[in-house]
Amino acid sequence: MADIADYFRGFAVTFRKLFEDRVTGEYRGGRAKEGQPDDKRPKPERLHGRHVLNRYEDGMEKCIGCELCAGVCPANCIYVRGADNDPENPTSPGERFGFVYEINYLRCIHCDLCVEACPTQAITESKLFEFSFTNRSDAIYTKDELVVGDDGKPQQMPWEDWRDGEDQLTSGWMRATSSAGDHRYEGVVHWAGELGYGVRAPELGQSAEVASAPADGGEVE
């Protein structure tokens, strides 16, 4: 008999849910008419949204065109071609820079392996998640759209609905380990400065010893 009672307990559960608070919000992506609710919740700190290509504090691009991100990408959504820097007027510090950089967001699974792979912290993921493009060519973000502007903020796509502060949380500072993925850097902030922000403050649980050597004396730079 207990079994039969269990069946009806299930019905009671679903009926009770009718009167409970909703867990979802009323989000309309900025297209709400007057008087309609349009709530966007704050995103979690480590959300994997769309990518940005960062620049150093002096305005140089961080990307060196090494294609490690393209190599590691499980979805094959990144296309990179490097080129030699003009010695007179370099795009990035060093020999090479990312000449072509494209990400196909119809393929990207936002696994963040490209961010892990990047040796210069050039590619990071922001919390911007709106991808409501209406054709396939719009789905491929080119370097012009990915690289941060002169104020260090990402480019706003026409279909993105930015709320306060969402454009600022763009950098890989939220990762637990360093750019090289080396466990010895776990809990230690090891970031190059960024255009518009400088060196980001450490996250909760991270030590603020910038670029300090790991305890066992391994090489840092």
Q: Give the distance from CA 58 to its chain's centroid.
A: 22
- Shortest distance, position 22 Cβ to another protein, whole Å: 5
Residues near 142 by beta carbon (within 8 Å), at least 6 away in sequence: 100, 101, 102
Can you give the three-state secondary structure of 165-189, one letter per residue?
CCCCCCCHHHCCCCCCCCHHHCCEC
- Shortest distance, position 21 Cβ to another protein, whole Å: 7
Pick the closer one to another protein by CB: 25 or 165. 25
Strand ranges of the sheet holding 96-104, from the earlier edge strand across to the other edge: 78-84, 96-104, 140-141
Pick the closer one to another protein by CB: 6 or 219. 6
- Shortest distance, position 9 Cβ to another protein, whole Å: 10
- Shortest distance, position 40 Cβ to another protein, whole Å: 14
The footprint of another protein (CB under 8 A) covers: 10-11, 13-15, 17-18, 20-26, 28
Pick the closer one to another protein by CB: 21 or 151. 21
**Cα(101)–Cα(126) distance, integer angstroms:** 17
Pick the closer one to another protein by CB: 23 or 204. 23
